[in-house]
Every structure is written in structure tokens, then in C-alpha cells.
Amino acid sequence: MTINENQKINILLSLLNERYKASHQMRDRSLKFAMWVIGFVIIAIPWLLFNREILTSCVKLSFTAIILIIGFFSYWFLIAINIGFNRNWDLQIKIEKALGCYEKSVYIESEQLFPKEYKHEYSKKKKINWTYHFVTIYAWIGIAIALIIFFIWFNPN
């Protein structure tokens, strides 16, 4: 099969558009999931604070175990989204390179369309890239889990 230059450009633009949409969806999904987990904590903390019953050590250990399990699976789920995000990012970079977005004078006279900093590929590091979006979400979930465990064990009541 032979594909002419105009068809190649149309295919690349279509692929790039899909990759951009996928990136936004992954970020949105991770944010909504994190908000769900944090919402759970926001509901649980007042219950712990205003519950008049003193929790036994066995109940405290059970609650702590449940919270840690929820936290573990939350991080696991978000890391999977982060890995997919990074792979998608690498594919975006390849398509942008193919379209000449990082070369001078292709789209703008004596300038490149995208700065070279945008060309950073994550797969070359061979580990998870902790993008700012995901770092923030991990931090919020970590803080939420720490807070709820704190209030399980150090309830003022």
C-alpha cells in the first residue's frame, strides 16, 4: 500500500488529536478518582471526630487495615493511569516530531513551533515519571490517608 504525503499528514494529525484527547481523559479520570477517595475521607473524619463511642484497639486496627488497603489500591490504579499517560506522551512526541513541530522554520519563520523542552520522552528513563499532575494527586491521597489514620488512633473523644 502506498500512502501519499497529504494522507500521511492527515493520518498523523488524526492520531495526534486522539492522543491529546486520551491525555486529557487520563488526567481527568485520575483527578475524579482522587476526588472520590478524598470525599470518602472528608465524610469519614467528622464521623470519627463526633462519634461518642471509644473505638477498641481491634476496631482501630481493622479501620487502619481497610484504609491502608484502599490507599494501596488507589495508588496502584493511579500508577497504571500514570504509566499509560507517559506512554501516550511518548507517542505524542513521535507524532509531533514527524510533523516537524520541533524544527525551525517549518511553521514559523526562524522559530520552532514547540520548545525543545516539550520533546522530553518518558520511556527513555525506564521508570515511572512523576508528572506534576500525578505527584499532586498522590500527595493529596497520601495526606488524606494519613489524616484518617491519625483520627482513628488519636480521636479527641
What do you get for the CA distance between the two ends of the chain, in Å?
A: 74
Q: Which of 4-8, 63-67, 100-104, 129-133 has the lowest mean pLDDT?
A: 129-133
Task: State pLDDT tens for residues 124-155.
Answer: 555 555 667 888 899 999 999 999 999 889 87
pTM, two decimals, is 0.80
Quick check: is 91 in a domain?
A: no
Share of the chain above pLDDT 70, in %: 92
pLDDT for 68 equals 95
- Between CA 113 and CA 92 the distance in angstroms is 15
Quick check: is 54 in a domain?
A: yes
Task: State pLDDT tens for residues 18-53.
Answer: 999 999 999 999 999 999 988 988 888 888 878 777
pLDDT exceeds cutoff 70 at 79: yes
Quick check: is 97 in a domain?
A: no
Residue showing cell 471509644: 54
Residues 6+ apart with CB under 8 A from 60: 152, 153
- Between CA 100 and CA 133 the distance in angstroms is 27
Number of folded domains that form the chain: 1
Domain that holds residue 68: 16-86+128-153
Number of C-beta neighbours around residue 30 at 10 A = 23
Partners of 108 in beta bridges: 111
Quick check: is 99 in a domain?
A: no
